Amino acid sequence: MAFTNNVMIVRHKLLAKLVNLWKENKLTNEIDRLPIELSPRRSRPLGRCCIHKERAVYKYKLFPLLGFDMTDETDELTSLSEYARQALERKNKQKENILCVIDEACSSCVQVNYEVTNLCRGCVARSCYMNCPKDAIRFRKNGQAKIDHDACISCGKCHQSCPYHAIVFIPVPCEEACPVKAISKDENGIEHIDESKCIYCGKCLNACPFGAIFEISQAFDVLEGIRSGEKMIAIPAPSILGQFNTSIEAVYGALRQMGFADVVEVAQGAMDTVSHEAAELKEKLEEGQPFMTTSCCPSYIELVNKHIPGMKPYVSSTGSPMYYAARIAKERHPDAKIVFIGPCVAKRKEARRDECVDYILTFEEMASIFEGLDIQLEQTQPFSVLYTSVREAHGFAQAGGVMGAIKAYLGEEAKKFSAIQVSDLNKKNIGLLRAAAKTGKAQGQFIEVMACEGGCISGPSAHNDAIGGRRQLNQELIKRRESYEETHR
């Protein structure tokens, strides 16, 4: 993997180590020593005050990997081995929240977002002082202004009024990354995720420079299920083609070696999405509806439900590829548990609404599990899926893929409507969607919406980096011979 920062390396290393201990049946016996091993005496902590702080951070970062968060700690003396035991004995019990903030790790960002730089000229006008509603501006002996952080409320009026632009705004990375203002500091100065606002786009996950934000993992629920003899079926997302530097048959072979009974590609479900969505689009446009948006991105669905309810009439009612693939897998294996594997945080929320999907694993988690289980991709027994999907179904993994699949499926009929894509749910694009919902007008009649820039291949929980993933995906798509275009010839 092309790790883009050390936070990702730490997450990978922690889960891989836990899985390795689980494999050796040593998890409950040796997990308490793990923080000490990771931050031994006389080591130099990275970005922390001392090894004891570093050890505390490591301890609590293990919580979400075991399926817990900070609220599960009622007694600080409870050992990690006790939480590990509970994780291994847990049966189909999931936490309500999808994401969590590790408060021990969330302690180094600025508490106040504004600071006076040495560009301050100590001017007579003192606009910053005159406009501050909390009397938080003080002055040094040389006349330069400074901000009393105990009084400041980060309203930004001093920043706006300074004629020299000497007062700078210092963002908190996770807050700045969130497009819907779902994350903010609580009364203790620790970031808190408001899940009534959160759309699970995952932008905060990798924006935090201290790695304080985690998904609540289901890795050990899946691993324990396999160990106990439960039949597990893996349904990997189309973007798996761009994740691992080997053949897809080798990757599926690794899933089989891990213990999955079968692999059903979500691309097969994407073909059902295409046929249903194409029919729905034609029907809606014939009825006079001005436009219709896609429905396969769960983060976009969360955005509509929580922030743009006026868009609901324009959203397709067609199920996502995961929805249809899970039902294909259930029909083939009625007694099995279904595990979706993808790059998406929001799929964890969609799975809560889908009775056919039991667990979610991410590509990032899969890479750690492969390493922890010592599964070498180049040495696995290749496995081929039973059903081969068309190229366009695998293309769902990238921006424009859904739109392209619909057009390819409809052939000449696709020329009757215009289509656009909204790739990346940032503040600007959310504003455009909000305007379309309010006015009932859009630049296209069919709108593909994806939360991640570049599509699912750039998801927050992907294993490969976005550029490398897209390159590898396109190389794999070229190899796919079956296509909707063949049916129109």
CA distance 333 to 328: 9
Map residue 90 onto helix, strand or coil: coil
How far is it, in rounded angstroms, from Cα 91 to Cα 277?
36
What residues does each domain of the chain span?
A: 6-108+174-216, 114-171, 231-488
pLDDT band at residue 1 using 50, 70 and 90 as cut-offs: very low
HEC assignment per residue over 102-118: CCCCCCCCCCCCEEECC
Share of the chain above pLDDT 90, in %: 87
Residues 6-108+174-216, CATH architecture = 2-Layer Sandwich (3.30)
DSSP H or E run through 238: none
185 and 192 Cβ atoms separated by less than 8 Å: yes
Confidence of residue 488 (pLDDT cuts 50, 70, 90): low
Q: What is the pLDDT of residues 379-401, one digit of tens each?
A: 999 999 999 999 999 999 999 99
Amino acid in the structure at residue 393: A
Q: What are 67-83's pLDDT values in tens digits?
A: 999 999 999 999 999 99
Task: With a cut of 70, say whether residue 4 has pLDDT above it.
Answer: no
Task: Assess whether the region 6-108+174-216 and the region 114-171 belong to the same CATH fold.
Answer: yes
Helix intervals (H) in 149-201: 157-161, 173-177
More confident residue, 467 or 108: 467
Of residues 4 and 386, the one with the higher pLDDT is 386
Task: DSSP letter for 100, please.
Answer: E
In degrees and rounded to multiples of 5, residue 17 shows phi and psi of -65, -45
Q: Is the pLDDT of residue 57 over 50?
A: yes
Burial 341-380 (b: 16+ CB within 10 A, else e): bbbbbbbbbbbeebebbbbbbbbbbbbbbbbbbebebeeb
CA 149 to chain CA centroid, Å, is: 33
**Mean pLDDT over each residue of the chain, to the nearest integer:** 94
Let me know: does 237 contact 343? Beta carbons within 8 Å. yes
Q: Confidence band (pLDDT; 50, 70, 90) for 8?
A: confident
> pLDDT of 401-442, one tens digit each?
999 999 999 999 999 999 999 999 999 999 999 999 999 999
Query: Would you tell me the crossing angle of helices 80-89 and 219-227 to the nearest 10 degrees?
Result: 60
What pLDDT, in 10s, does the model give residues 142-168?
999 999 999 999 999 999 999 999 999
Confidence of residue 489 (pLDDT cuts 50, 70, 90): low
Strand 137-139 and strand 145-147: the pairing is antiparallel
pLDDT for 46: 74
Collect all residues with Cβ–Cβ distance below 8 Å to 73 and sequence separation of at least 6.
Answer: 63
Looking only at the bridges linking them, the beta strands covering 114-116 and 167-169 are: antiparallel
- Residue 446's nearest CA partner among 477, 405, 483, 484 is 405
pLDDT at 3: 62
Task: Supply the pLDDT for residue 188.
Answer: 82
* Cβ atoms of residues 473 and 239 within 8 Å: yes
User: The domain 231-488 is classified under which CATH number: 3.40.950.10, 3.30.420.40, 3.40.50.620, 3.90.79.10?
Assistant: 3.40.950.10
Q: For residue 165, count other CB atoms closer than 10 A to its CB.
A: 9
% of the chain beyond a pLDDT of 70: 98
pLDDT digits (tens, 9 = 90+) for 205-233: 989 999 999 999 999 999 999 999 999 99
Q: What is the pLDDT of residues 439-457, one digit of tens each?
A: 999 999 999 999 999 999 9
Confidence check: pLDDT of 92 > 80: no
**What average pLDDT does the segment 23-44 reach?**
93
CATH of domain 114-171: 3.30.70.20
